[in-house]
Amino acid sequence: MIKVAKELNGNILTIRLTGSIEETVNLDEMVGQTPAEVRIDCKEITRINSVGVKGWIKYFQGLQAKNVKLTFFQCSTAIVEQVNLISNFVCGGGVESIYVPFACTSCKAELIALFRTVDINPAAIQLPELKCTKCSGKAVFDDIEEEYFAFLSR
């Protein structure tokens, strides 16, 4: 189940989505009226199933058809996976920033770090090494580079 928090600032509506997106989610009902620009904070989206994907595309395609400017930011790993898997997932919108997964080589802790997409060069991905917040060990990128950043080359 998803929770939606909304913040209207002038002509820009920011919506923060928290939880899993599945068949019970009706974004149209939950978000309501939208202005000319919508920013979608995807940090807390943990999971999205195929019916959720369908509902997501239907909703954002509707906004795209009304020429609403869409920007997705702080995209969780679950959302980045969908952006990579489905070509029309962001419905003409922009992806401003994404969370990149890291794993500690010592204690195996999962970590995430936020990157602006403009700072990532898909032709030569260079990610910094992070220090684990739990044991101070070395944390390295934990996914398949050519898959996780594939959408940047589209």
Residues engaged in binding another protein (CB under 8 A): 1, 22-24, 46-51, 53-54, 57-58, 61, 77-78, 81, 84-89, 101, 103, 108, 110, 142-144, 147, 150
* Cα–Cα nearest to 38, from 48, 46, 30, 47: 30
* Cα–Cα nearest to 49, from 90, 29, 28, 19: 19
Write the CA distances from 40 to 13, 21, 47, 94, 144, integer angstroms.
Answer: 8, 14, 16, 10, 26
Residue 118 vs 144, nearer CB to another protein:
144
Residue 50 vs 67, nearer CB to another protein:
50
Residue 73 vs 89, nearer CB to another protein:
89
* Shortest spacing between CB 10 and another protein, in angstroms: 32
For 137, half-sphere exposure in the C-beta direction (CA atoms, 13 angstrom radius) is: 14
Q: Which amino acid is at 118?
A: V
* Shortest spacing between CB 9 and another protein, in angstroms: 31
* Shortest spacing between CB 6 and another protein, in angstroms: 23
